[in-house]
């Protein structure tokens, strides 16, 4: 139960065999229960390295903006407040949340008949204080 | 299929076909308190150049303090059942249930972050 300062962090490295011709959208979430106190989110961030290229149509392998991350604060009443990455300044205080949920997404890619070389790495983190 | 992980640490999962070949390898590292949970939905069907390919998830590695479930079950139980569904041999199913799968190695000549040379 997360009173005090808390970090949620997720790092993913995904590699595929060259016979795979379609790379699914990536989604994962990391969560921690809260104590219904007052939460201030200090930072939410996501970074991606690696990438995807095909035999005939090279997509630059570089840092990419296709990754997407959110931190959601969920309440018992099914309401929620969410914060988008990147954010590096303290949020307004939010009271009464029961769950902090860090979600990371990345795009789906389909090859048009060529091999894909895939190695992608995503990292997302969120820092928040609960008092 | 849904993979649930309780606790911080690193989990390595491979998706193999009925012959035991690894088609996808994923390493998930989570940091946080001992009560942190991770949820990762993953498809058990891959699209390859030869068409749809049913695959089996294999839990290759996890941290000592982590608890991992596949669809709410022990990974070995789920893996063995899925092996029967996709028609794995007994030997492949046994190895997979024990968490043994060939890891995909990154080509040292093509590290992540570089565009591969064209043939």
Residue A31: partners with Cβ closer than 8 Å, 6 or more residues away = A8, A99, A100, A101, A102, B36, B37, B38, B39
Question: Does residue B95 sit in helix, strand or coil?
Answer: helix
Tell whether domain A4-130 is in CATH 2.60.120: yes
Q: Report residues of chain A scoring pLDDT below 50.
A: 55-58, 60-63
pLDDT score at B108: 47
Which of B5, B16, B29, B49 to probe by mutation at the A interface, max A CB count within 10 Å? Answer: B49
**Which residue bears the tokens 């995909």?**
B104
For residue B112, pLDDT over 50 is answered with no
In this structure, the strands spanning A109-110 and A22-23 are antiparallel
Q: How far is CA B86 from the centre of its chain?
A: 15
Question: In which region does residue A66 sit, left (phi positive, over 0), alpha (psi from -120 to 50) or beta (all else)?
Answer: alpha
Summarised one tens digit per residue, pLDDT across range B25-80 is 999 999 999 999 999 999 999 988 888 999 999 999 999 889 999 999 999 999 99
pLDDT score at B49: 81
Q: Does A59 touch chain B (CB under 8 A)?
A: no
Q: Please choose, from the candidates A4, A6, A5, A24, the residue with its C-alpha nearest in 3D space to the C-alpha of residue A14.
A: A24
Q: Does B23 touch chain A (CB under 8 A)?
A: yes
Q: How far is CA B59 from the centre of its chain?
A: 6
Partners of B40 on chain A (C-beta within 8 Å) are 27-29
Q: Does B106 touch chain A (CB under 8 A)?
A: yes
Q: Does A9 touch chain B (CB under 8 A)?
A: yes
The phi, psi pair for B91, rounded to 5°, reads -65, -45
- For chain A, what are the domain ranges? 4-130
- Is this structure's pTM higher than 0.95? no
């Amino acid at each position: 139960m997360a009173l005090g300062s808390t970090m949620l962090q997720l790092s993913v490295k995904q590699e595929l065999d060259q016979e795979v011709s379609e790379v699914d959208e990536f989604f994962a979430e990391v969560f921690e229960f809260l104590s219904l106190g007052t939460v201030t989110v200090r930072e939410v961030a996501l970074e991606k390295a690696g990438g995807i290229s095909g035999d005939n149509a090279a997509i630059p392998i570089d840092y990419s903006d296709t990754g997407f991350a959110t931190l959601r604060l969920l309440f018992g009443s099914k309401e929620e407040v969410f914060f988008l990455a990147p954010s590096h300044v303290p949020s307004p205080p939010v009271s009464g949340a029961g769950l902090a949920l860090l979600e990371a997404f990345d795009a789906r890619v389909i090859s048009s008949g060529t091999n894909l070389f895939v190695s992608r790495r995503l990292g997302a983190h969120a820092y928040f204080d609960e008092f | 299929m849904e993979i649930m992980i309780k606790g911080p640490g690193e989990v390595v999962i491979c998706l193999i076909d009925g012959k035991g070949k690894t088609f996808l390898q994923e390493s998930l590292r989570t940091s946080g308190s001992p009560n942190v949970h991770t949820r990762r939905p993953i498809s058990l069907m891959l699209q390859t150049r030869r068409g749809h390919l049913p695959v089996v998830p294999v839990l290759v590695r996890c941290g000592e303090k982590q608890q991992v479930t596949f669809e709410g079950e022990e990974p070995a139980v789920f893996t063995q059942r899925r092996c029967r569904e996709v028609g794995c041999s007994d030997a492949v199913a046994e190895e997979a249930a024990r968490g043994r799968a060939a890891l995909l190695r990154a080509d040292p000549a093509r590290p992540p972050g570089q565009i591969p040379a064209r043939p």
